[in-house]
Amino acid sequence: MTSRERVRKAISHQEPDRVPIDIGGTKITGIHIDEYIKISKYLGIDAELPRCYEQFQMLAHVEEPVRRWLHGDVIQLENLTETWGYKNQDWKIWENTAGNKILMPGQFAYRTDAEGNIQLLDASGKHAATMAATGGYFERLPNPPVDFTTDFVFADIEKFRKSIPIYLDEELKILEKRAKLMYETTDYSIHGGALKGKLGTTGVFAGHYFTEWLCILAAEPEYAGELLEAAADAAVENISLYLQAVGKYIDTILISTTDFGTQTGELFSPEIFHDLYMPNYKKMCEYVHKNSDVKTMFHSCGSIRNIIPYFIEAGCDILNPIQANSYRMDPGELKKEFGDQLVFWGAGVDSQTVYPSGDAQMVRNQVKERLEILMPGGGCVFSPIHNTQYDVPVENIEAFVQTVLTYGKY
């Protein structure tokens, strides 16, 4: 089978020739830029100036020689802009804290403080995040404490609605051209990256800080519902424009990247998710399903067992990942309970433990165990639980891939 055929079979709950592999094919299964350089050196490939296309997770654009070595079946239609609003163009050289020379967007701007920390300036010139002098990521500035007796202000719903970015014609034309080229010149399954105008809880939502937003969900559900509905309406508009441009080329679309779980449970009650989030996600997914053959993908880290049924009710086709070492997220139990309704994209190896800290044999053992659980009947795409970070031994990546190739055959 070609990669495209293989993935399409798997996400339709059918058994392909082997389990599809995805490392580096989405922004939730990506490769840290320093790790990518390690892989390139291991392979003897000259990757002196790899592009960092996503500057929050510091993800590398994967070139064909590395993708071939990874036996990846998925390629991403990358967004034109990412977290900090930089346009991914006019690339310039930057030497990062690891001493690697990489390419960053031409708009990338920063200043260094007295301690050597790197202060990132977003596209508007505002100090938005900081990378420690020896760090590998830009961390958002911490939220200031909120005094609800004096600081809380309801957002203007219409003003918020108008502030949500909508795809421009010039963006859509570029995405369409890229998607068509990828479709016609490769046999990979094409993944549509995260959309504009998503629902969220993390970072800043409608001008509210994260902790403030969690309080609003519980204390002001009517107001929270209005904000989420406005965001969903804008998301549907973006989905419509996006699918018109690239829908005939892509197989999957990333509807949500919001983390709803911690290691020990959901961030808020499942009832709140059902009442406020689920109807809006349903609106988005229904549009996708009525207007394309594209499968909808949701990403959430953490323990989310109690809201998985609401993901399904909303129209989620694919869940990424299964964070197996968090509470009540046992892969075997989830496969048994939800395997006929959800495709599991991830869970191949634990990214917090075995993948970075174990040896190659430990990786092989865990990958083989997870294959035995998840591969029957199709419905799985194999990747590590999250991005491949800078501290993963390259031998462990190789062990992951080779184990899937050996034991993931139907």
User: What span, in angstroms and rounded, lies between the C-alpha atoms of 400 and 393?
Assistant: 11
158 with 292, same domain: the answer is yes
pLDDT at 201: 65
Beta-bridge partner residues of 192: 77, 253
How many structural domains are present in the chain? 2
pLDDT of 203 higher than 60: no
Number of Cα atoms under 13 Å in the Cβ half of residue 335: 20
Q: What is the pLDDT of residues 249-288, one digit of tens each?
A: 999 999 999 999 999 999 999 999 999 999 999 999 999 9
172 with 301, same domain: the answer is yes
The residue whose two tokens read 């049924």 is 309
54 with 128, same domain: the answer is yes
User: What span, in angstroms and rounded, lies between the C-alpha atoms of 183 and 332?
Assistant: 35
395 with 331, same domain: the answer is yes
The residue whose two tokens read 């997870």 is 370
Q: What is the pLDDT of residues 209-261, one digit of tens each?
A: 888 899 899 999 999 999 999 999 999 999 999 999 999 999 999 999 999 99
Q: Give me the sheet containing 318-320, strands edge to edge.
A: 74-77, 189-192, 252-256, 295-299, 318-320, 343-345, 380-381
Mean pLDDT for all residues in the chain: 94
- Domain of residue 104: give its range: 31-72+81-142
Residues above pLDDT 70, as percent of the chain: 98
* Closest among 384, 299, 301, 380 to 344, alpha carbons compared: 380
The residue from 114, 142, 170 where one domain ends is 142
pLDDT of 202 higher than 70: no
Are 87 and 105 in contact by the 8 Å Cβ rule? The answer is yes
pLDDT at 147: 75
pLDDT at 196: 73
Q: What is the pLDDT of residues 371-398, one digit of tens each?
A: 999 999 999 999 999 999 999 999 999 9
Q: What is the pLDDT of residues 335-373, one digit of tens each?
A: 999 999 999 999 999 999 999 999 999 999 999 999 999
Q: What is the pLDDT of residues 289-330, one digit of tens each?
A: 999 999 999 999 999 999 999 999 999 999 999 999 999 999
User: What span, in angstroms and rounded, lies between the C-alpha atoms of 245 and 157?
Assistant: 29
Residues above pLDDT 90, as percent of the chain: 87
134 with 186, same domain: the answer is no
pLDDT band at 193 (very low <50, low <70, confident <90, very high): confident
Report the CATH number at residue 362.
Answer: 3.20.20.210
154 with 177, same domain: the answer is yes
Residue 31's Cα: distance from chain center in Å?
12
* Closest among 86, 83, 33 to 63, alpha carbons compared: 33
Question: pTM for this structure?
Answer: 0.96
